[in-house]
Structure 1
Amino acid sequence: MKNKERLIWIFLVLVLLIITTASGLNNWIFAGDTERTYENLKLFNEIFNLLRTEYYDESKVEPDRLIKGAVDGMIESLEDPHTDYMSKEFFGELQTETRGEFGGVGIVIGVRDKWITVISPIADTPAARVGMKAGDKIIEIDGESTEGFTTTDAVNMIRGEVGTSLTLTVKREGVSQPLQFTITRGVIKLETVKSTIVDDHIGYFRISQFSEPTAEAFRVQIGDLKSQGMDSIILDLRNNPGGLLSSAIEIADMLLIDGNIVSIKGRNKSQSQVYKAHERTYIPDLPIIVLVNKGSASGSEILAGAIKDNKRGILVGETTFGKGSVQTVRELPDGSGIKITTALYYTPSGASIHEVGIEPDEVVKDVEVTQEEIDAIKKLEELGLIKTFVQEHESYTDTDFETLMNQLAQNSIEIKPIIVRRLIKNEQEADRMPDLIDLDYDVQLKHAVNMLKSVNRLLKTKVS
């Protein structure tokens, strides 16, 4: 999946290294292991030439193909799914993405247990709307197995022309059979911060990703909700895959009065740094609850860890993803790029959460959908029962809902009432922008709201 420019560039670099080494500048390039590196490069060159001149099938030993295999092997030997080469096209897309807009289906992916895995679906995108979830392992893309794929390989297949469709086959934990999702590609415009007032006084902020505009958008919306009487905050970082480290740190700095935000420790001293909060918090006295789940990764874990370890707020939900490494992106001369893991980050308590995650202070599980309920949802769609119900009821009473549940039972459809209510809401929102929150279905958010209600009642009692 890597392009021709990459192979030619790598080849030229290798040739240059050999020539330069032979020219007596070894100590400048390979300080500490000059002789060994030189011998290995000589070995590489010898094998390359032997394969080029003696292998029986000439079509398989073109320079581009051989060098591609060598580079792939070099990167794969690191056993780090976060270090990867990026073609010129993909590198350009990455730069666009950090600016807040890109083309695709709306999922952030990585490699976990050797399979392409959904780190998180991006809210209000085609992938989120069809029901893809964090943790889904993508085993096929348009019928082609993804076994052995790198993240770049998968992204190159998933992204495409707006309006075209692709089919993703996924294996979901707790579901016996693979699931298939046919998704129409679209332009993904990231409004990374959305907010609203809940229960007349609680400020709810959902941050879906950290891009260049995120911190400023958060700052503006904090001010807007403060002017509406906000007296406490719910910061929703669920399914937030991370993004720009600087953006996550800047938001943490807005919420903390003092203390460390994150420590980064790399191979070299120049790659190590401690980020501290400044005395400029926007909301020094407001209670904060942070919502997290297994789709909360990287930058969102930095922010959640800073709030937790500095005792600035309470984490509610499920254990986070556990991506505690820092990647540095370098642009190469031909416009392509390479993403290299250069450091690990540590929360203020000194803990590394890499491949471990952050445990919430209060564990609240999301609504579980069983294999039987997935089958029931498919049957509901085939019979059109939810669609008919919504057409007949612009709004519905408890009696209306009870009648619907009885109808489902008569059709041998067993499904939890809370899931049916969510399906009704999905149908109601089919032709409009979905509501930002759903306290009927979102048990984690509802738990956070109830906690803040209790805190605010307690504070008001103390004041009086």
Structure 2
Amino acid sequence: MRHFVILSVAVLLFIGGYATGQSGFSAFAQTTPMPLEKMREFTEVFQHIKKLYVEEVSDDELMENAIRGMTSGLDPHSTYLKASDLKAFEESVSGEEYGGVGIYIGEKDGWVEIISPIDKSPAERAGLLAGDLIITIDGTSTKNMPIEKAVSMMRGKVGDILTLEVLTPPGDENNVPRKVELSREKIVAPSVVASLSEPDYGYLRINRFQRNTAEEAVNNLNRLREENKRSLKGLVLDLRNNPGGLLDVSVGIASIFLPKGVTVVSDRGRQQGDKTFVAQAKYYHNLQFIDEVKKMRIVVLVNNGSASASEIVAGALQDHHRAVIMGTPTYGKASVQSLLRLRSTQGKTGIKLTVARYFTPNNRSIQARGIEPDIEVSAGDSIKTKETFSVREANLLGHLENDQGSENTTATPAGEEEIAAPFIPDDDYQYDQALLILKALAIADGA
């Protein structure tokens, strides 16, 4: 990998998730000699394919496949991004509008899995559910299809029809493939949804950690406080099915609730060494009721769809005893990716490369383990938080090992997404329990 000259653009967290932004060219010096024997072997295979393969294959296609194989063989989150994939990825972390059908997706057993449909989206109206497998997209099989390609294929011009073949996994009475035609609509990726659950208790749902998420969270907290007309007694912070996002934004969200200067997360990589990220006031300088927020009772809802940046926030609040973590064990992705644009293509293509592991403030690695909630509460019968068919980081082929001991491989979900779904609590057992805990804490404190 180090033999390619590349441009470093951003550090990301992926599930899937994603992370920080900084642009500018930087070249990595070649530190080891080229493996000439393997290069000769590669050249010979290339020539055989060009001469003997049953169908003609272009040089560009062969080289793209070779680069993709080089990255995908490392771990589940390192991948090659051709121009269209890179564009789709950048749209997903920017929160821009696009034409789509309103689902976010992951990978299960080599197929594309629906993690959740977005409320009132074409996908939800068509009856698509979390756990459904997308078998084909416009007639193309999704078996072993890169998630970035699936995302790109499902996006398109508003009004155009997208045809999916969908299978509900075994255990459901409708376990037969069915074709679903969806009309693409303009999809907006709101990263924050908030409401007053009832007087004195707020609800803040973060769908994904995008560039403006910390600012949106601050604005919504200001609005909730003003609507309540007095101090809030508690807040439910909902990180369920949040696949991750930008690292500095996860630091920003944690900063809102933690004392200034405390450690939020640290990461360790071969090139960069150890880096520690602390809570900073710059992320909440527009928060009008900061003293109240810093003391506010908090219950954080998590599940096996809470990954990467979501786990950073939950882990930081848990280690600093700032919140009660409730739900089910999280996904278990504690690795950091860099998005590297390739200078050789003038930045039109790139690679997403795992460059570090991250650790919670108490120096815990949750890689392939996840965060264990303080209070474990299953989703019950709530369809919108259904976890039956999801997998965890530890179940992904080639995942990074946890370097602090044995792994727990018994629980959580997949990868990346078309867009994270806004979630308003409705007949939601986990949320109801979180609200009960907040009320109990308020009573115990004499509030």
The TM-score range, normalised by the shorter chain, is: 0.7 to 0.9
1:31 counterpart residue number: 31
Letter in 1 for 2:436: N
Q: Secondary structure at the match of 1:305?
A: helix
1:211 counterpart residue number: 210
* Mean CA deviation greater in 198-207 or 314-323: 314-323
1:355 counterpart residue number: 368
Cα distance in 2 between the residues matched to 1:215 and 1:279:
12
2:42 counterpart residue number: 44
2:144 counterpart residue number: 148
Q: CA deviation at 1:310?
A: 1.2
Residues 56 and 133 from structure 1, CA distance in 2 versus in 1: closer, same or farther, beyond 3 angstroms?
A: closer
Cα distance in 1 between the residues matched to 2:108 and 2:270:
24
Cα distance in 2 between the residues matched to 1:225 and 1:361:
26
1:225 counterpart residue number: 224
- Please point out which of 411, 414, 424 is paired with 1:436: 424
2:419 counterpart residue number: none
Q: Secondary structure at the match of 1:284?
A: helix
Residues 237 and 459 from structure 1, CA distance in 2 versus in 1: closer, same or farther, beyond 3 angstroms?
A: same
Q: CA deviation at 1:170?
A: 3.5
Does residue 450 of the first structure (1) align with residue 432 of the second (2)? no
1:423 counterpart residue number: none
Q: Secondary structure at the match of 2:446?
A: helix
1:339 counterpart residue number: 352
Letter in 1 for 2:143: E
Cα distance in 2 between the residues matched to 1:356 and 1:178:
33
Cα distance in 2 between the residues matched to 1:303 and 1:131:
32
Does the Cα contact within 8 Å between 1:264 and 1:346 map onto a contact in 2? yes
Cα distance in 2 between the residues matched to 1:182 and 1:348:
47
Deviations 1:29-68 (A, max 9, x none): 5423x1x52332233234434544x4275x4253234323
Residues 322 and 122 from structure 1, CA distance in 2 versus in 1: closer, same or farther, beyond 3 angstroms?
A: farther
Does the Cα contact within 8 Å between 2:95 and 2:210 map onto a contact in 1? yes
* Mean CA deviation greater in 103-112 or 284-293: 103-112
Q: CA deviation at 1:369?
A: 7.5
Does the Cα contact within 8 Å between 1:135 and 1:294 map onto a contact in 2? no
Does the Cα contact within 8 Å between 2:111 and 2:135 map onto a contact in 1? yes
Segments of 5+ residues of structure 1 without an aligned counterpart are 1-9, 15-27, 371-433
Deviations 1:131-154 (A, max 9, x none): 545554433334543222111232
2:319 counterpart residue number: 309
> What is the percentage of aligned positions where both structures have the same residue?
36
2:135 counterpart residue number: 139
Does the Cα contact within 8 Å between 2:85 and 2:149 map onto a contact in 1? no
Cα distance in 2 between the residues matched to 1:56 and 1:206:
52
1:55 counterpart residue number: 52
Cα distance in 1 between the residues matched to 2:326 and 2:166:
31
2:87 counterpart residue number: 92
**Structure 2 length as normaliser, TM-score?**
0.73
1:265 counterpart residue number: 268
**Structure 1 length as normaliser, TM-score?**
0.71
Q: Secondary structure at the match of 1:263?
A: strand
Does the Cα contact within 8 Å between 1:81 and 1:150 map onto a contact in 2? no
Residues 435 and 305 from structure 1, CA distance in 2 versus in 1: closer, same or farther, beyond 3 angstroms?
A: closer
Does the Cα contact within 8 Å between 2:326 and 2:434 map onto a contact in 1? yes
Cα distance in 1 between the residues matched to 2:124 and 2:171:
19
Residues 179 and 233 from structure 1, CA distance in 2 versus in 1: closer, same or farther, beyond 3 angstroms?
A: farther
Deviations 1:390-441 (A, max 9, x none): xxxxxxxxxxxxxxxxxxxxxxxxxxxxxxxxxxxxxxxxxxxx99332xx1
Q: CA deviation at 1:123?
A: 4.8
Segments of 5+ residues of structure 2 without an aligned counterpart are 6-27, 285-289, 384-421
- Please point out which of 253, 256, 270 is paired with 2:255: 253
Q: Which structure's CA Rg is the greater one? A: 1
Q: CA deviation at 1:314?
A: 0.6
1:165 counterpart residue number: 162
Q: Secondary structure at the match of 1:160?
A: coil
Cα distance in 2 between the residues matched to 1:38 and 1:351:
41
2:245 counterpart residue number: 243
1:81 counterpart residue number: 76
Letter in 2 for 1:55: L
Deviations 1:332-373 (A, max 9, x none): 325122211112222223222233222222222223389xxx
Does residue 198 of the first structure (1) align with residue 207 of the second (2)? no
Letter in 2 for 1:326: V
Letter in 2 for 1:151: I
2:340 counterpart residue number: 330
Hey, which of these two has a bigger chunk of helix by percent? 1
Q: Secondary structure at the match of 2:64?
A: helix
Letter in 2 for 1:358: I
Does the Cα contact within 8 Å between 1:81 and 1:151 map onto a contact in 2? no
